[in-house]
Amino acid sequence: MDFSIVPDTAGARVGELASELADALESNINSKYRNVDVSIGIAFRCLPESYGRKSFIRYTKKDNYQTIDMAITVVEYGKMYKVEQLYHLGKLFLEFLNRALEKHNFEGLEKEIFINDIKMWAREIPLKMDNGSTKLCNWFNEEVDWSVDLDK
């Protein structure tokens, strides 16, 4: 597997969060799932609404490439604290990944195990707190964790 996450942002903390997620996931996924013959590219786009960018999922059989492109607006995410953006990006990521993997089965890739691995690796992403300490288990929570840093 060739798995990658790229940010395309014009504001908010989406680029920072997408990069943190990419750092935690890409090498783990590409290593564990190296025998799965597919490329998965995920884009987090946080752009002005005037761009008219829409989210989409597309599989290109010729290239064996699964694209997951998520578009959100700067206005919406710019009003949120980082922890809120993290929560909503996590939900969006899992929703789109689930939909993409429901549409296409890739030999050697069990959807539930793959998603559980992603959740496990993402739990190791540290979030710096106001007091200088770090907190783990911030991605893919059931609700916003208001105990963490509320930096915008």
pLDDT digits (tens, 9 = 90+) for 42-78: 999 999 999 999 999 999 999 999 999 999 999 999 8
Residues paired with 134 in a beta bridge: 128
Q: What is the mean pLDDT of residues 121-146?
A: 84
Average pLDDT, the chain: 92
**pLDDT band (50, 70, 90) for residue 138:** confident
Q: Are 15 and 87 in contact (CB under 8 A)?
A: no
Structure tokens, 117: 């691995």
Q: What's residue 152's pLDDT?
A: 46
Structure tokens, 25: 């996931």
Q: What's residue 19's pLDDT?
A: 95
Give pTM, 2 decimals. 0.91
